[in-house]
Amino acid sequence: MASIQGLCHEGLKYVDEDTGEEKLIPRANIQDGYVYTIGDSERKDHLMMLCLQKYPHLDKMTVELFVDHYMNHPDEMEKNMRNDKEYMKKFKC
């Protein structure tokens, strides 16, 4: 068993009740897979805002995955969209 002391900058502190020793579960080191310039970061934020306003029922992380993919692979994203018959029903060809 463990007794939780609380969150801190380094992670989660707790006391191991068997040994009485204070321990730390380190904070996860999660980094964004893509690094953007300031301008690209502002563009990403704008695209995120537009997508989340248009599709509020979607999970923010899902939208972010699509926005990141679009920003880093625009040709591939457009190709995928053009191959999507359901999506292309909205347009005259």
pLDDT for position 88: 92
| Domain boundary assignment for the chain | 1-27, 38-88
- CA distances (Å), 58 to each of 13, 54, 62, 85, 89, in order? 34, 9, 7, 21, 21
Q: How far apart are CA 22 and CA 29, in angstroms?
A: 22
Q: What are the backbone dihedrals phi and psi of residue 11, each rounded to the nearest 5 degrees, phi first?
A: 150, -145
Please report, in tens digits, the pLDDT of each residue of the chain (93 residues total): 566 677 788 888 888 888 889 988 887 766 657 889 999 999 999 999 999 999 999 999 899 989 999 999 999 988 998 999 998 999 987
CA distance 81 to 83: 5
Q: Is 91 helix (H, G, I), strand (E, B) or coil?
A: coil
